[in-house]
Amino acid sequence: MSEEAEKVLVIGSGIAGLTAAIYTARANLNPLVLEGDEPGGQLSLTSEVENYPGFVEGINGFDLVQNMRQQAERFGARYEGGRVERIEPGAPHSVVLDDGRTIKAHAVVIATGATARWPGLPREREYIGHGVSTCATCDGAFYRGLKVAVIGGGDSALEEALFLTRFATEVHLIHRRDTLRASKIMQQRAFDEPKVKFHWNTVVESFVGEPEEGLRGLKLKDVATGAEEQLDVDGLFIAIGHIPNTQFVEGVLALDDQGYLNESVVTHVPGIFAAGDVRDHVYRQAVTAAGMGCQAALEAERWLGASALG
């Protein structure tokens, strides 16, 4: 084992990466965590997390991530900023960063997540936690008895819209075309649900209400007629897709047609493991990401032990 190689390098500091860090740190593997562009991952962008087991009153997403970060640090995890450009598999693996550095590591856990696609509306990020969300499962329950809107026409948008009907009095589905991209079965479910109101050929142009006071409505535009209207809603859920952060492993690991890792937690490259939303476009939950981070860490520990590197 070369002197400078890390035993474990965790790429990504969302829930999956931090869980992998907690487990590998507790196993005395002294993991190095590369935090990336969005330290804490998607959860640090949500407000209250009410469905993470163990928090009766819920916990702020940012606080949950910070707690996990400190928990791993307590057992010896170290953190560095850095964006990975590519991985050159080897023994050890070479992880090349875009600032020219190369980190050598025997075991690499890829937990770079997926980034929600945003429509690019004025001040959209300022409304996060103030009426705008990218996760109905996370934030839907805050809109009990209120009106909400969803942007998108794919399966995610319809799934979010249908989920939101449990809480909201009206769910306005805003789609830029006049046909949905979603599967027929999801379309039928949405058409059959009276609370879901469709706005075809429609885009959101801007928000009504200041971020600090909360969202009050949306300015909509019909792209076919040019007509504009205001829709009064208390919440907006953006469901126009996610972009998995996998560009740096193209050609090294298998990707599906949407760019998600098409590999199990133990990838086909010995010593490379994968966890969290980077390989999951179905569940996308903090608790499932944590579970995968744990699996990846235990597999890495086992692999290092079997290779007499741990």
Catalog residues that contact ligand NAP under the rule CB under 6 A: 117, 119, 151-157, 159, 176-177, 181, 240-241, 281
The minimum distance between CB 298 and ligand NAP, in angstroms, equals 28
- Amino acid symbol at 188: Q
Task: Considering the complex, state which of residue 75 and residue 200 has its C-beta at the smaller distance from ligand NAP.
Answer: 200
- Amino acid symbol at 288: T
Does residue 294 carry a catalytic annotation?
no
Task: Considering the complex, state which of residue 51 and residue 169 has its C-beta at the smaller distance from ligand NAP.
Answer: 51
Catalytic site residue from 37, 63, 98, 135: 135
Neighbouring-strand partners of residue 218:
207, 231
Task: Considering the complex, state which of residue 165 and residue 307 has its C-beta at the smaller distance from ligand NAP.
Answer: 165
What distance in Å separates the CA atoms of residue 163 and residue 56, rounded to the nearest whole number? Answer: 22
- Amino acid symbol at 46: T
Task: Considering the complex, state which of residue 186 and residue 269 has its C-beta at the smaller distance from ligand NAP.
Answer: 186
Does residue 138 carry a catalytic annotation?
yes
CA 6 to chain centre: 27
Residues 279 and 263: beta-carbon distance below 8 Å: yes
DSSP 8-state symbol, 308: T
The minimum distance between CB 3 and ligand NAP, in angstroms, equals 44
The minimum distance between CB 225 and ligand NAP, in angstroms, equals 18
Read off φ and ψ for residue 97, nearest 5 degrees.
Answer: -95, 160
The minimum distance between CB 220 and ligand NAP, in angstroms, equals 12
The owner of tokens 């992880």 is 95
Task: Considering the complex, state which of residue 151 and residue 255 has its C-beta at the smaller distance from ligand NAP.
Answer: 151
CA 141 to chain centre: 19
What distance in Å separates the CA atoms of residue 267 and residue 270, rounded to the nearest whole number? Answer: 7
Widest CA span of the chain, in angstroms? 68
Query: Measured in Å, how far apart are the chain's first and last C-alpha atoms?
Result: 10
The minimum distance between CB 120 and ligand NAP, in angstroms, equals 7
Task: Considering the complex, state which of residue 154 and residue 270 has its C-beta at the smaller distance from ligand NAP.
Answer: 154
The minimum distance between CB 116 and ligand NAP, in angstroms, equals 9
Q: Which residue is nearest to ligand NAP, using beta carbons?
A: 154
Q: Which of 238, 263, 292 is nearest to 121 (CA)?
A: 238
Catalytic site residue from 37, 63, 139, 280: 139
Q: Which of 125, 19, 118, 32 is nearest to 71 (CA)?
A: 19
Active site residues: 135, 138-139
